[in-house]
């Protein structure tokens, strides 16, 4: 910065407040945490007491066994993401947080759909599964189980398609996400 | 050695000279270690008293306070002090016993999920899972409690692990990769702030408890005096700038001065330092300081733009940032005359609305006068603690604090019963200073048991109870906002505080005459050992001025 001080004037009018505004979109936060007991409780508790909703949350190991990754999605229309990440940073066991840029991120979720499939509908159902690159992993007389992987949008689209057949059960893992290119997430 | 013996070594290495606590089954090994541990332990009569004493000690000395409790009920008795320390950023390490590891999760005798129960109200906590982890956990706990934005840290030690043998080696470092508080502010932002000050026509510096925590009172004072900047302090920041002073506007907020609140309302630039725009400061947020741009300096990034969006955010320790800000500001050479109009506006408010009350013509002691009398009797030189209620606000308004760490109260949580044990902790930490507590007659009963602790240790606190026979602050709200329908606020003349004092082995006095009040107070102060003084004041007096909850500064009444 060199010598202190500058005579260049500043008009207070020019100053803009740091935007505390809602971004209006979904955010995928990729959080590296120390693999210690209670860490997930600390994160979940923080969200609960500050009134932030978690849309999806996944936890899993990383290439380093001392470190786990939590991927969670939060609605930036409802919550100030800036405040959410700052509060998360205050947790001593949180090592790093990345608010993943949608365009630079590969995000995937896995879902299992148990769909009623008595007789005639079965063929049509199989066709839809194929279009979505779904895999039929179990077939019985009355139901099929289809596995679908993809972005949340794709999974939601598939869900809409199979619902009319009679959706008996659905399970979703929540998203995991990784940044594109060479750089670390 | 046993893990608990290592614990004693760790405490000594951290410079701990005294701890507060009360033993039980799950921390018997720890208490065995105290016998030869070389650490002074003060036996309290309730764990909450111990926790608040540790807070008082920390606030008065600037060092980390330490409180011990057993598992289950011992630990749950600490919840209020832990939460209090969290809200007011007080560095305290709480060390609790836990049931044996084989009993964990079985609802064993005196088992409570202490880590779980305290999780929302600690800065961090450690559950010891291996005995050899203990020394490192203790040092990390102290490091976390003391640095960055200070706060409470809890260490929970299962009984079997605490007595296990370990190979103790002194720990000289902490490994906390996820905890790196930022101390130095961003130079570019600091320069921007200096420029904003130079352009401001109506600036106000709004200083909070963060100044006290950062030991930045000198830097603040120097910066304020580098130009004719008006300064106001929060309840937690009193003493951060020496009062009284021509540049000092008094406290701001719900029971602040009109000069301070109106200045905030009309300011074009507000610089918050170590303050967090609490609702007791802002009132109605949408109408708070509508014309102002905000510089916000805080060591906790999450405070910046939490309630009020900042125009110039500066993350850093107040001491560093203010020192740099001063250099930058001086180099600009702004013209102080630009503030003339602002000062004449402020002086107008000061003249028109000084802090005032209608004094009695006879022997009756007005509560405000009681604080002024104590100021006189102590020469303004005491460490003053308080409870929560009207007496707290009058103490804040009428006792001028010339230095930081002289005013010790519970601001964020507003914990009744804080004052007496906090005074005890402050007196233990500062044996050469006079420590007085301005207590409420309601509040003091919530931790009066610590009088026994004071008597046993001859801790010479002077407790002045502002006795109005009411839960006064609640009574005031019922009078003003609930049509005077008093509900469960009258405490009558119970207990007899003089007899209570005597039962505890403490000197008791009752003062009822304004005309001799100052001298009587001096007499109480000159009396050896702990003294409890029942000062009978006007029963129904309201704390003014006041911004009714949720309203704007302009709406001040009284
Ligand atoms: C533990 C706790 N319970 C309840 C309250 C709510 N409260 C705030 S002020 C107050 C009255 C306190 O009475 P007293 O100590 O006599 O002080 P006064 O207002 O009369 O000066 C109460 C009940 C509180 N702050 N803390
Ligand atoms: Mg009272």
Question: Which runs of E-coded beta strand occur in B215-371?
Answer: 231-233, 248-251, 269-273, 293-298, 312-315
pLDDT for A148-164, tens place per residue?
A: 999 999 999 999 999 99
The reply to whether residue B311 touches residue A91, judged by beta carbons under 8 angstroms, is no
For residue A6, is pLDDT > 80? no
Contact between residue B404 and residue B211 where contact means Cβ atoms under 8 Å apart: yes
Q: Per the domain annotation, does B227 fall within a domain?
A: yes
3-state secondary structure of A151: coil
Which of the four pLDDT bands, split at 50, 70 and 90, describes residue A117?
confident
> Does residue B446 share a domain with residue B339?
no
pLDDT number for residue A119: 74
Q: Per the domain annotation, does B180 fall within a domain?
A: no
> Does residue B331 share a domain with residue B415?
no
Q: Which residues contact B372 (CB under 8 A, 6 or more apart)?
A: B398
Q: Over chain B (558 residues), what is each successive 10-residue block's mean pLDDT?
A: 98 98 98 98 98 99 98 98 98 98 97 98 98 98 98 98 97 94 96 98 98 98 98 98 97 98 98 97 95 98 96 98 98 96 98 96 97 98 98 98 98 98 99 98 98 98 98 98 98 97 98 98 98 98 96 93
Nearest CA to ligand 1 atom 23: B471
The reply to whether residue A1 touches residue B191, judged by beta carbons under 8 angstroms, is yes
Please give the Cα distance from B288 to B277 (Å, whole number).
10
Please give the Cα distance from B202 to B229 (Å, whole number).
9
A106-177 in CATH: which number? 3.30.70.1150
**Average pLDDT, rounded, for chain A:** 92
- Residue carrying structure tokens 């013996």: B5
Going from the Cα of B489 to the center of ligand 1, the distance in angstroms, rounded, reads 9
Checking ipTM against 0.85, whether it exceeds it is: yes
Q: Which of B306, B114, B112 is nearest to A90 (CA)?
A: B306
Ligand with an atom nearest the CA of residue B475: 1
What CATH architecture does domain A12-100 belong to? 2-Layer Sandwich (3.30)
Domain ranges of chain A: 12-100, 106-177
Instruction: Please give the residue range of the domain that contains residue B207.
Output: 187-352
The reply to whether residue B305 touches residue A87, judged by beta carbons under 8 angstroms, is no
> Does residue B216 share a domain with residue B322?
yes
> Does residue B419 share a domain with residue B338?
no
| Fold agreement (A12-100, A106-177) | yes
> Does residue B152 share a domain with residue B202?
no
Q: Per the domain annotation, does B119 fall within a domain?
A: yes
The reply to whether residue B293 touches residue A12, judged by beta carbons under 8 angstroms, is yes
For residue A5, is pLDDT > 70? no
Q: What is the token pair recorded at B188? A: 């570019």
Question: Number of structural domains, chain B?
Answer: 3
Collect all residues of chain A within an 8 Å Cβ-Cβ radius of residue B196. Answer: 10, 12, 15
> Does residue B345 share a domain with residue B389?
no
Q: Per the domain annotation, does B139 fall within a domain?
A: yes
> Does residue B330 share a domain with residue B373?
no
Please give the Cα distance from B166 to B179 (Å, whole number).
27
Tell me which residues of chain B have a C-beta less than 8 Å from any C-beta of chain A. Answer: 115-116, 119-120, 123-124, 127, 129, 144, 176-179, 187-188, 191-192, 194-196, 198-200, 268-269, 293-294, 300-302, 304-306, 309-313, 327-328, 330-333
Q: Is the CB of B202 under 6 A from ligand 1?
A: no
> Does residue B158 share a domain with residue B56?
yes
Q: Per the domain annotation, does B543 fall within a domain?
A: no
> Does residue B379 share a domain with residue B341?
no
CATH number of the domain enclosing B407: 3.40.50.970
Going from the Cα of B474 to the center of ligand 1, the distance in angstroms, rounded, reads 7
Tell me the percentage of chain A whose pLDDT exceeds 70. Answer: 96
> Does residue B314 share a domain with residue B373?
no
Q: Which residues contact B103 (CB under 8 A, 6 or more apart)?
A: B109, B111
CB atoms under 10 Å from CB of B557, counted, come to 11
Nearest CA to ligand 1 atom 20: B472
> Does residue B374 share a domain with residue B345?
no
Going from the Cα of B440 to the center of ligand 2, the distance in angstroms, rounded, reads 5
To 10 degrees, what angle do helices B450-457 and B47-61 make?
Answer: 60
Nearest to B331 among A4, A19, A82 (CB): A4
Which ligand 1 atom sits closest to the C-alpha of B414? 25
Q: Per the domain annotation, does B175 fall within a domain?
A: no
Q: Per the domain annotation, does B138 fall within a domain?
A: yes
pLDDT number for residue A2: 58
Q: Per the domain annotation, does B457 fall within a domain?
A: yes
> Does residue B332 share a domain with residue B271?
yes
pLDDT number for residue B420: 99
The whole-angstrom distance between A102's CA and the closest CA on chain B is 24
Angle among Cα B283, B289, B292 to the nearest 5 degrees reads 155
CATH number of the domain enclosing B271: 3.40.50.1220
């Amino acid at each position: 910065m060199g010598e202190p001080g500058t005579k260049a004037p500043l008009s207070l009018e020019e100053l803009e407040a740091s935007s505390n505004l809602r971004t209006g979109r979904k955010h995928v936060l990729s959080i590296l945490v120390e693999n210690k007991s209670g860490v997930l409780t600390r994160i979940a508790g923080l969200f609960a007491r500050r009134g932030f909703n978690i849309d999806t949350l996944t936890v899993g190991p990383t290439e380093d066994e001392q470190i786990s990754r939590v991927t969670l999605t939060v609605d930036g229309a409802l919550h100030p993401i800036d405040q959410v990440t700052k509060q998360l940073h205050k947790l001593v066991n949180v090592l790093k947080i990345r608010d993943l840029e949608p365009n630079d991120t590969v995000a995937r979720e896995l879902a299992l759909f148990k769909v009623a499939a008595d007789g005639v509908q079965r063929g049509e159902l199989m066709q839809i599964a194929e279009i979505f690159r779904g895999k039929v992993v179990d077939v019985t007389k009355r139901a099929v189980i289809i596995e679908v992987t993809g972005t949340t949008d794709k999974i939601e689209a598939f869900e809409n398609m199979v619902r009319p057949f009679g959706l008996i059960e659905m399970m979703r893992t929540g998203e995991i996400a990784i940044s594109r290119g060479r750089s670390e997430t | 050695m046993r893990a608990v013996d290592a614990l004693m070594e760790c405490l000594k290495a951290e410079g701990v000279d005294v701890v507060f606590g009360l033993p039980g089954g799950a921390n018997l090994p720890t208490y065995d270690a105290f016998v030869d541990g070389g650490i002074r332990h003060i036996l309290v009569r309730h764990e909450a008293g111990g926790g608040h004493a540790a807070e008082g000690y920390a606030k008065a000395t600037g060092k980390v306070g330490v409180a011990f409790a057993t598992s289950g009920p011992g630990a749950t008795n600490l919840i209020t002090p832990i939460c209090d320390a969290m809200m007011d950023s007080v560095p305290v390490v709480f060390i609790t016993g836990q049931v044996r590891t084989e009993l964990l999760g079985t609802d064993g005798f005196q088992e409570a999920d202490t880590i779980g129960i305290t999780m929302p109200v600690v800065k961090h906590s450690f559950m010891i899972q291996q005995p050899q982890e203990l020394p490192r956990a203790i040092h990390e706990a102290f490091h976390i409690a003391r640095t960055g934005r200070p706060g409470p840290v809890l260490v929970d030690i299962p009984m079997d692990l605490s007595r296990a043998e370990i190979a103790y080696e002194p720990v000289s470092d902490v490994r906390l990769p996820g905890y790196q508080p930022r101390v130095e502010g961003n130079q570019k932002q600091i320069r921007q702030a200096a420029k904003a000050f130079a352009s401001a026509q109506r600036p106000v510096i709004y200083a909070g408890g963060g100044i006290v925590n950062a030991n930045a009172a000198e830097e603040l004072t120097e910066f304020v005096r580098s130009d004719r900047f008006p300064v106001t302090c929060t309840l937690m920041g009193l003493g951060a700038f020496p009062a009284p002073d021509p540049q000092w506007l008094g406290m701001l907020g719900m029971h602040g001065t009109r000069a301070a609140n109106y200045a905030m309302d009309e300011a074009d630039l507000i610089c918050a330092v170590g303050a967090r725009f609490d609702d007791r400061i802002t009132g109605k947020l949408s109408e708070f300081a509508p014309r102002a741009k905000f510089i916000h300096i805080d060591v906790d990034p999450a405070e910046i733009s939490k309630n009020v969006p900042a125009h110039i955010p500066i993350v850093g320790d107040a001491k560093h940032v203010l020192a740099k800000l001063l250099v930058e500001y001086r180099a600009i050479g702004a013209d102080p005359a630009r503030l003339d109009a602002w000062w004449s506006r402020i002086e107008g408010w000061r003249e028109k609305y000084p802090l005032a009350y209608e004094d009695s013509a006879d022997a009756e002691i007005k509560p405000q006068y009681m604080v002024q009398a104590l100021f006189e009797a102590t020469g303004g030189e005491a460490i003053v603690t308080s409870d929560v209620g009207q007496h707290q606000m009058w103490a804040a308004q009428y006792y001028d604090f010339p230095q930081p760490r002289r005013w010790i109260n519970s601001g964020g949580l507003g914990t009744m019963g804080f004052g007496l044990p906090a005074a005890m902790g402050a007196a233990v930490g500062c044996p050469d200073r006079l420590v007085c507590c301005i207590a409420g007659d309601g509040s003091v009963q919530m931790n009066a048991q610590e009088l026994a602790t004071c008597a046993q240790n001859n801790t010479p606190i002077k407790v002045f109870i502002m006795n109005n026979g009411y839960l006064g602050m609640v009574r005031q709200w019922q009078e003003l906002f609930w049509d005077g329908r008093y509900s469960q606020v009258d405490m009558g003349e119970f207990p007899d505080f003089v007899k209570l004092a005597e039962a505890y082995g403490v000197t008791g006095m009752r003062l009822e005459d304004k005309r001799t009040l100052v001298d009587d107070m001096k007499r109480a102060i000159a009396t050896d050992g702990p003294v409890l003084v029942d000062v009978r004041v006007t029963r129904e007096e309201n704390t003014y001025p006041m911004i009714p909850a949720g309203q704007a500064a302009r709406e001040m009444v009284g």
